[in-house]
C-alpha cells in the first residue's frame, strides 16, 4: 500500500471545554497519512490520478479553522471523515496535537485510523464544523 502524508499542519481554531477556550483560538498540529495507489499517477505524471495534497491541506485549513468543537476527539474524527469521504481514500490515520493543553507536557492529542467502511452509511453533512 502506498501512502501520502502531510506533516505538522498548523491551524488555529476554537477547541476546548473551558469558557476561555471558547473565546480564544488555539493552535493545533495535524499529521495525516492516507492510503493511495500512486502507480497510475506516476505512470501518467499527472495530478488527476492521485490525491492532490495541496487541495487536501487547504481543505483542512479551512475546515479546522472554522470549526468550534469542544473535544479534540470530535475534531479528529471529523477530520478523518472528511478525508475519507471527500478525497475517496480507503484508509487514513490522523494525529492531532493540542500543544500546551497540559502543564508540563509539550503537547497532548489524539491519533486515530479509519477505513472507508467506517463511513459507509455516513452523509457529508455529518462532517460540518
| Closest listed residue to residue 66, CA positions, set 31, 124, 15, 126 | 15
CB 42 within 8 Å of CB 2: no
Which candidate in 54, 58, 93, 98 is catalytic?
Answer: 98
58 is a catalytic site residue: no
| Catalytic (active-site) positions | 98
Amino acid at each position: 500500500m502506498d501512502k501520502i502524508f502531510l506533516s505538522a499542519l498548523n491551524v488555529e481554531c476554537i477547541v476546548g471545554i473551558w469558557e476561555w477556550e471558547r473565546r480564544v483560538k488555539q493552535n493545533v498540529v495535524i499529521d495525516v497519512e492516507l492510503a493511495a495507489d500512486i502507480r497510475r499517477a506516476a505512470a501518467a505524471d499527472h495530478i488527476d490520478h492521485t490525491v492532490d495534497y495541496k487541495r487536501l491541506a487547504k481543505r483542512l485549513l479551512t475546515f479546522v479553522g472554522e470549526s468550534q468543537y469542544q473535544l479534540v476527539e470530535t475534531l479528529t474524527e471529523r477530520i478523518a471523515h472528511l478525508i475519507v469521504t471527500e478525497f475517496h481514500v480507503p484508509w487514513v490515520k490522523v494525529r492531532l496535537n493540542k500543544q500546551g493543553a497540559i502543564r508540563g507536557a509539550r503537547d497532548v492529542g489524539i491519533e486515530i485510523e479509519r477505513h472507508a467502511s467506517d463511513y459507509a452509511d455516513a452523509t457529508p453533512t455529518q462532517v460540518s464544523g
